[in-house]
Amino acid sequence: MMDTISFALMLFGIFLLAGMVKGLLGLGLPTVAMGLLGLAMPPVQAAALLLAPSLVTNVWQLLAGPRFTALVRRLWPMMLAIVIGTLAGSGIIAGTVASAATMGLGIALFLYGLIGLLKPQPRLPPTIESWAGPLVGAVTGLVAGATGVFVIPAVPYLGSLGLGRDDLVQALGLSFTVSTLALAAGLALHGALPLDASGTSLLAVLPALAGMWFGGWLRLRVRPEIFRGGFFIGLLVLGGELIWRGLA
Question: HEC states along 17-36?
Answer: HHHHHHHHHCCCHHHHHHHH
State the Rg of the chain over Cα.
17
Number of domains in the chain: 1
Cα–Cα–Cα angle for 16, 18, 20, nearest 5°?
A: 70
Q: What is the residue type of 69?
A: T
CB distance 48 to 58 below 8 Å = no
pLDDT of residue 94: 79
pLDDT of residue 64: 74
Q: Is 79 exposed, middle or buried (0-12, 13-18, 19+ CB in 10 A)?
A: buried
Closest Cα to residue 21, out of 207, 248, 247, 191? 207
- pLDDT attached to residue 195: 66
What is the pTM (predicted TM-score) of this model? 0.86
- Note the pLDDT of residue 98: 59
Give the residue among 185, 157, 188 at the shortest CA–CA distance from 171.
Answer: 157
Per-residue confidence (pLDDT) for residue 77, from 0 to 100 = 96
Angle, alpha carbons 72-75-78 (nearest 5°): 130
CA 225/CA 165 separation, integer angstroms: 15
In order along its 248 residues, the chain shows pLDDT tens digits of 457 888 889 999 999 999 998 888 777 888 889 888 988 888 888 888 999 999 998 888 888 777 889 999 999 999 999 999 999 988 888 776 657 777 888 888 888 888 888 877 778 887 899 999 999 999 999 989 888 888 889 988 998 898 887 788 889 889 999 999 999 999 998 888 776 677 788 889 999 999 989 988 888 887 777 777 888 888 888 888 888 877 86
Predicted local distance difference test score (pLDDT) of residue 141: 94
Please check whether residue 102 is in contact with residue 108, taking contact to mean a CB–CB distance below 8 angstroms.
Answer: no
What domain range includes position 68?
A: 4-247
